[in-house]
């Protein structure tokens, strides 16, 4: 064992700093994105637009959050996650600042939809992919801890945005959120490192020789992964699930306002999702390490049809670890990036479709029912296809 690795083990394992950095990226990126529900009515009022057309702003951004992983994931595998995460946080900051100066809905589409969408898309998959390489035994827990930043961001940022809108208007609120993205998100991104081997360690802080049996450098090629039954099942289940999963982040506060809830209280409902989601990321991520991530994924998809808060957090926490278990670490960023294009299409369609449905019927009943049904279908896909394909991961059979 080298002196460097000995010293590294005496200190805090750097993998936890990578987790903290990924947490900050999730907190800032998705926390800022999920404030959109607080901005929907001010934007609709100032621009005289329909709820469906304003909802499309989030759908464009949401599509890019996940679709860009198709590019950012492979780039992170090749060049490292840190530069992409830093660039992503800068883009989020620029997009929010530009949105504050928008003079039309089209300019909001360009500033927020493209700026914030491209920024989160640049940072998300590289950050969460880096975490997977630093852990094996505690991968589910570490992944859950990292993505709990989404839950805590959802808990903290929408109420903050609501307070800012009330005090400095929606334009000033976007400027403050942009500053937070630049300072907190950009600064913490500098702690991200791709692989523990550069510090003379294996996953979980073990010496490299102890980690040889779980070498993160092995695994399936992207081509092998996407042609597998497991990947197809994951892709279809994520596509179906995501049609409804992101509807509340746009429409929950307006839905509450339509039912007589005060604006300051309505936006706190997003915090309830954030709090439950955070608990789900911790609890269900760690539980997946014990019960097996196949079964955990089935459980959270079913649960999301019944109670979104905690099970949504479990879905986000468990999914990257499932990918790492199935396909190994050699191309984990690229594989996650391709998988998340399914979420991109669902996010593009779901929230805006719910908005246009409301414009036509002045009711959210149908979008709510469709969202619940979609999660049941997603769980059935996992049960029917993944369970039949056996438990042997592709990564176990490659290199």
Which residues touch 264 (CB under 8 Å, ≥6 apart)?
Answer: 162, 166
**Which residue's structure tokens are 């399936």?**
220
Contacts for 100 with CB less than 8 Å, ≥ 6 apart: 170, 171, 172, 173, 174, 175, 178
DSSP secondary structure, 49-98, as one string:
--HHHHHHHHHHHHHHHHHTHHHHHHHHHHH-HHHHHHHHHHHHHHHHHH
**Which helix (H) or strand (E) is 253 found in, with range?**
helix 247-258
**Of the listed ranges 302-311, 325-334, 366-375, the one predicted with least confidence:** 302-311
Give 24-49 as a DSSP string.
Answer: HHHHHHHHHHTTHHHHHHHHHHHHT-
Q: Are 252 and 309 in contact (CB under 8 A)?
A: no
Can you tell me the mean pLDDT for 5-24? Answer: 78
Return the minimum-mean-pLDDT range out of 7-16, 268-277, 377-386. Answer: 268-277
- What is the homologous superfamily of the domain 13-207+215-397 according to CATH? MFS general substrate transporter like domains (1.20.1250.20)
The proportion of the chain whose per-residue pLDDT surpasses 70, expressed as a percent, equals: 77
Confidence of residue 290 (pLDDT cuts 50, 70, 90): low
Give the torsion sign (CA, 270, 275, 279, 282).
positive
> Element (H or E) spanning 281, and its range?
helix 268-291
Of 261 and 377, the one with more pLDDT: 377
Question: Tokens in use for 3?
Answer: 């002196």
Global pTM exceeds 0.75: no
Beta bridge partner(s), residue 219: 328
Residue 101: CB atoms within 10 A of its CB come to 11
Query: Rounded distance, CA 140 to CA 282, Å?
Result: 9
Average pLDDT of span 290-313: 50
Q: Tell me which range, 282-296, 307-321, 366-380, is most confidently predicted by mean pLDDT.
A: 366-380
> What Cα–Cα distance (Å) separates residue 350 from each residue in 18, 49, 368?
32, 19, 11
CA distance 148 to 156: 12
The whole-angstrom separation of Cα 32 and Cα 11 is 33
Average pLDDT in the chain: 79
pLDDT at 245: 76
What is the mean predicted confidence (pLDDT) over 312-335?
Answer: 72
Residue carrying the six token digits 């060049």: 79
Confidence of residue 190 (pLDDT cuts 50, 70, 90): very high
In the structure, what pLDDT confidence band is assigned to residue 118 with cuts at 50, 70 and 90? very high
């Amino acid at each position: 064992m080298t002196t460097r690795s000995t010293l590294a083990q005496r200190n805090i394992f750097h993998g936890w700093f990578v987790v903290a950095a990924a947490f900050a990226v999730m907190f800032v990126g998705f926390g800022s994105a999920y404030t959109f529900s607080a901005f929907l009515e001010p934007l609709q009022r100032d621009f005289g637009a329909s709820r469906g057309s304003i909802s499309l702003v989030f759908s464009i951004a949401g599509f890019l959050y996940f679709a860009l992983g198709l590019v950012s994931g492979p780039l992170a595998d090749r060049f490292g996650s840190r530069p992409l995460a830093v660039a992503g946080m800068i883009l989020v900051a620029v997009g929010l600042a530009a949105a504050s100066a928008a003079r039309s809905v089209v300019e909001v589409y360009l500033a927020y939809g493209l700026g914030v969408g491209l920024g989160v898309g640049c940072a998300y998959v590289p950050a969460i992919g880096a975490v997977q390489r630093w852990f094996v035994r505690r991968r589910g827990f570490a992944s859950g801890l990292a993505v709990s930043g989404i839950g805590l961001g959802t808990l903290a940022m929408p109420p903050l945005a609501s307070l800012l809108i009330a005090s400095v208007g929606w334009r000033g609120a976007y400027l403050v959120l942009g500053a937070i993205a630049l300072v907190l998100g950009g600064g913490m991104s500098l702690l991200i490192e791709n692989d523990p081997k550069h510090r003379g360690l294996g996953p979980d802080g073990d010496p490299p020789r102890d980690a040889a049996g779980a070498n993160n450098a092995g695994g399936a090629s992207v081509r092998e992964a996407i042609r597998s039954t497991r990947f197809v099942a994951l892709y279809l289940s994520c596509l179906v699930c995501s049609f409804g999963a992101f509807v509340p982040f746009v429409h929950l506060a307006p839905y509450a306002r339509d039912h007589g809830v005060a604006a300051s209280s309505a936006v706190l409902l997003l915090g309830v999702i954030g709090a439950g989601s955070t608990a789900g990321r911790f609890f269900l991520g760690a539980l997946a390490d014990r019960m097996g991530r196949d079964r955990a994924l089935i459980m959270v998809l079913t649960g999301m049809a019944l109670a979104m808060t905690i099970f949504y957090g479990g879905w986000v926490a468990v999914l990257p670890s499932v990918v790492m278990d199935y396909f190994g670490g050699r191309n984990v960023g690229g594989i996650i990036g391709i998988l998340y294009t399914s979420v991109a299409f669902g996010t593009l369609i779901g929230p805006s479709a719910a908005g246009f449905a409301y414009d036509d019927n002045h009711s959210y009943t149908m979008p709510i029912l469709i969202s619940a049904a979609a999660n049941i279908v997603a769980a059935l896909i996992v049960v029917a296809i993944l369970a039949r394909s056996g438990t042997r991961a592709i990564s176990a059979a490659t290199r």
